[in-house]
Structure 1
Amino acid sequence: MRRMVQTAFDTSERRAWAGQAGAYAAGFAKLCAYPVPKLLDAAGVREGVRVLDVGTGTGTAAALACEWEAKVSAVDAEPDMVSRAALAAPQADVRLAALPHLPFSDDAFDATVGNFVLNHVGQPRQALAELRRVTRPGGRIAVTIWAAPAAAGQTLLGRAVQAAGVTRPAHLPALDPEDDFPRTEQGLVALLGEAGLRDVVCETVTWDHQTTREEWWSGPAAGVATIGQIVTSQHPEVIDEIKSHFEGLCAEFTGPGRVLSLPHAALMAHGQA
């Protein structure tokens, strides 16, 4: 029988993202939007297809699927995200729900997508099993995660934190070892295979995210994501030191007009239920 419990990691994630929809929309959401068209295409989303967007965030994937005239449902674990997603995709059925428990019947969808949602669940295998449950036999499931080792642009904020001598606080738990998996193409393919998906393929998607120093710092300064939780848990003088290191490291990525060009890499895998 599958373990269907909320882990310490899940609890920490709920706390970290509470009330952060606005700060996320102003920064990191723009980064996470890049793979969405590829993700929907990999899942076979098109006109009339019943698609579920899990961990919809501010609704980027749900909104694009609606533009493609699919029949869209979407869920997120954070109420503020649900409100923003409902505004972004008014044609969609947007609900409050969190993996590994989805409020849908078996085989309810032709396609299911999760854009970086597996990075934020305590039991990725159980989460994928739930995605498979709600996807009809022969339907497609497509997901993205951040690759490891991370691309240079993705490590910028972490390098600033390390340069200030800051380590991950004890109140931010990592995944339990038995729940983790290699963040490689082979590791993600194996994970989807364990969930019972067939014909699984994975590719690495790379892009240079264009942003500004102010925008890129605004996320962690507001406490968004794990990096933001690490930053905001420090004393003010330490935060100032982190920001100083951040400003110095930005020189590596700064082009004309002080625009940051940050290389990122994600893994996108898809398979058939």
Structure 2
Amino acid sequence: MTIFTPFDTAERRAWAGRAAAYERSFATLCAHPVPALLDAAGVRRGLRVLDAGTGTGNAAQAAGSRGATVTAVDADPGMATRAAATAPDTAVCVAALPRLPFADGHFDAVVGNLVLNHVGRPRAALAELRRVARPGARIALSIWAAPPAPGQALFGRALQAAGVTRPAHLPTLAAEDDFPRTEEGFGGLLHETGLTAVRCETLTWEHRTTAEQWWSGPAAGVASAGQILVSRPPEVITEVRRQYDALCAEFMGPDGMLVLPHTALLASAQV
């Protein structure tokens, strides 16, 4: 079996060169689970902590502020560069799950904020995170829930309203690698890997942003919606924007800001 799947290859291609656009658009949203994630992993002073899939480094920076010694990895070099700037006391390197350049049992705690949404073999990725954690360490991970919350579904609805479908060059997870994005499904994934004391909870919050800022991420090709959008000709993108603007009215607050409900799952367990 090969280490990386077509899904992994597509993810690397999709994120290449888009770290700055992500930081401007979605990074604040994705940082929301971080405090609860670090609490679930028991991150505190003196622990050696791995932040897997660090993105722009929000979780690494927060773990370091708790006094932990933090190592962070990301599959995208641009993300790793930005993480190093966000968390200058963190050791940052480029590495992709399910293969990490660390010895067995090296870390006292492992966190991964939304990283399992971006790997082709979630079970293999989780097994690798377990491998690098010492016996008794806690692992905490977050993923987006499915079906998506209304705020998360906004772009998908705009694409659908414009008659845009997912292009063939964007693969999905193989059926045997996928799992239900529910508390039971996510918790079950951790149980399958042999972890104990598994807990899983749902995080809900409202993300506030502007319609223009929220559009800027997909317009730059960020995330799957962005990859679908930028693969289309200009006239189709114009129609998607028209549908997006109409749908934004559902989420517009009295101050002109979008108020977007989001839902994620937070699971933790002990090695």
Interval containing the TM-score (normalised by the shorter chain): over 0.9
Q: CA deviation at 1:257?
A: 2.4
**Whole-angstrom CA distance in 2 between matches of 1:201 and 1:37:** 16
The 2-side partners of 1:255 and 1:90 are apart by: 37
Q: Given residue 88 of structure 2, which amino acid in structure 1 is its aligned partner? A: P
1:214 to 212, 215, 235: 212
Amino acid at match of 1:7: T
**Aligned partner (choices 26, 29, 32) of residue 30 of structure 2:** 32
Cα shift readout 1:130-162 (whole Å, capped 9, x = no counterpart): 000000000000000000111111101100000
Read off the aligned partner of 2:197 and give its amino acid letter.
Answer: D
2:97 corresponds in structure 1 to: 99
Contact 1:152 1:263 in 2 (8 A): yes
Q: Partner residue of 1:51?
A: 49
Residue 112 of structure 1 aligns to a residue in which SS?
strand
Total equivalences in the alignment: 271
Gap change, CA 1:162 and 1:169, over 3 Å in 2? same
CA distance in structure 2 between the aligned counterparts of 1:153 and 1:88, rounded to whole angstroms: 27
* Structure 1 residue runs of 4 or more that deviate by more than 3 Å after TM superposition: none
8 Å contact from structure 1 (residues 4, 126) kept in 2: no
- 1: CA distance, partners of 2:12 / 2:245: 30
Q: Which runs of 5+ in 1 are unaligned?
A: none
Distance 1:50 1:110, change over 3 A: same
TM-superposed CA distance for 1:4, in Å, is: 5.2
What SS is found at the alignment partner of 1:48? Answer: coil
What is the identity, as a one-letter code, of the residue corresponding to 2:190? L
Structure 2 unaligned segments of length 5 or more: list them: none
Superposed displacement of residue 17, structure 1: 0.1
CA distance in structure 2 between the partners assigned to 1:36 and 1:117 by the alignment: 12
- Name 1:199's counterpart in structure 2: 197
- TM-score by length of structure 2 reads 0.99
Structure 2 equivalent of residue 11 of structure 1: 9
How big is the shift at 1:258?
1.1
TM-score normalized by the length of structure 1: 0.98
User: Which residue of structure 2 aligns with residue 129 of structure 1?
Assistant: 127
Q: Deviations over 1:206-255 (max 9, x none)?
A: 00000000000000000001110000000100000000000000000001
**Backbone CA RMSD of aligned residues:** 0.6
Q: Given residue 233 of structure 2, which amino acid in structure 1 is its aligned partner?
A: H
SS of aligned partner of 2:255: helix
